[in-house]
Structure 1
Amino acid sequence: MARTGTDHAGARLEIDLGAIQANYRALKARARGAVAAVVKADAYGLDAGIVAPALAAAGARQFFVAHLDEALALRPLLPEAEIFVLNGLPAGAEADCAAARVIPVLNSLGQIDAWTALARRDGAALPAAVQVDSGMSRLGLPAAELARIAADPARLDGVALRLVMSHLGCADTPDHPMNRRQLAAFEAARRVLPEAPASLANSSGIFLGPDFHFDLARPGAALYGIAPVAGAENPMLPSVRLMARVIQTREIGAGDAVGYAASWTADGPRRIATVAVGYADGYLRCLGNRATAFAGATPLPLVGVVSMDTATFDVTGAPEVREGGWIELLGPNQSLDALATEAGTIGYEILTSLGGRYARVYADAQPERLIA
Structure 2
Amino acid sequence: MTTATLTIDLDALAANWRALDAASDPGVETAAVIKANGYGLDSGRVARTLARAGARKFFVAVAEEAAAIRQALGPGPEICVFSGHGPGDTDMIHDLHLVPMLNSIDQMLRHVEALPGHDFGVQLDTGMNRLGMEPAEWAALREIALGQNIQLIMSHLACADDPDHPMNSQQLQVFNEITQGCDVPRSLSATGGILLGPDYHFDVTRPGIGLYGGQPFEQAQPVAHLNLPVIQIRDVEPGETVGYGNSWTAARPSRIATVSAGYADGIHRIMAPRTQGYANGVPCPVVGRISMDLITFDVTDLDEDPLEIELLNAQQTVDDLADAAGTIGYEILTALGGRYRRRYVSS
* Length-normalised TM-score, structure 2: 0.95
**CA–CA distance in 2 between the matches of 1:64 and 1:321?**
45
**CA–CA distance in 2 between the matches of 1:281 and 1:301?**
19
Q: Is the 8 A contact 1:9 1:358 kept in 2?
A: no
- 2:333 partner SS: helix
- For CA contacts below 8 A with separation 6 or more, give which structure has more relative contact order: 1
**CA–CA distance in 2 between the matches of 1:284 and 1:318?**
25
Question: Which residue in 2 is equivalent to 1:111?
Answer: 107
Question: Which residue in 2 is equivalent to 1:267?
Answer: 251
- 2:66 partner SS: helix
Answering whether residue 73 of structure 2 is matched by residue 78 of structure 1, we say: yes
Q: Is the 8 A contact 1:9 1:357 kept in 2?
A: no
Match 2:134 to one of 142, 164, 171: 142
Q: Percent identity, aligned pairs only?
A: 47
For residues 221-240 of structure 1, give each alpha carbon's deviation from its aligned partner in whole angstroms, at most 9, with x where no partner exists. 111111225xxxx2111111
Question: Which residue in 1 is equivalent to 2:124?
Answer: 132
**CA–CA distance in 2 between the matches of 1:177 and 1:217?**
21
Q: How does 1:1-372 map onto structure 2 within 5 Å?
A: 8-32=1-25, 33-79=28-74, 80-120=76-116, 125-150=117-142, 153-154=143-144, 156=145, 159-191=148-180, 194-228=182-216, 234-322=218-306, 325-364=307-346, 366=347
Q: Is the 8 A contact 2:30 2:206 kept in 1?
A: yes
For residues 96-122 of structure 1, give each alpha carbon's deviation from its aligned partner in whole angstroms, at most 9, with x where no partner exists. 3122211101111111110011234xx
Q: Is the 8 A contact 1:292 1:299 kept in 2?
A: yes
C-alpha displacement at 1:158, in angstroms? 7.0
**CA–CA distance in 2 between the matches of 1:86 and 1:157?**
19
Q: Is the 8 A contact 2:119 2:150 kept in 1?
A: yes
- 1:246 partner SS: strand
* Alignment gaps of 5+ in structure 2: none
Q: CA RMSD in A?
A: 1.5
Counterpart amino acid of residue 216 in structure 2: P
Assess, with a 3 A threshold, how the Cα gap between structure 1 residues 157 and 58 changes in structure 2: closer, same or farther. closer
Q: Is the 8 A contact 1:95 1:118 kept in 2?
A: no
C-alpha displacement at 1:305, in angstroms? 1.1
**CA–CA distance in 2 between the matches of 1:146 and 1:217?**
21
- 1:237 partner SS: coil
**CA–CA distance in 1 between the matches of 2:147 and 2:68?**
26
- 2:309 partner SS: strand
Counterpart amino acid of residue 188 in structure 1: E
Q: Is the 8 A contact 1:287 1:305 kept in 2?
A: no
Question: Which residue in 2 is equivalent to 1:370?
Answer: none
* Length-normalised TM-score, structure 1: 0.89
For residues 287-337 of structure 1, give each alpha carbon's deviation from its aligned partner in whole angstroms, at most 9, with x where no partner exists. 122211111121111111110001111111114224xx1111010221111
Answer with 56-65 or 332-341: which moved more: 332-341
**CA–CA distance in 2 between the matches of 1:97 and 1:119?**
9
Answer with 294-303 or 211-220: which moved more: 294-303
C-alpha displacement at 1:162, in angstroms? 0.3
* Alignment gaps of 5+ in structure 1: 1-7, 367-372
Q: Tell me the matched-pair count.
A: 344
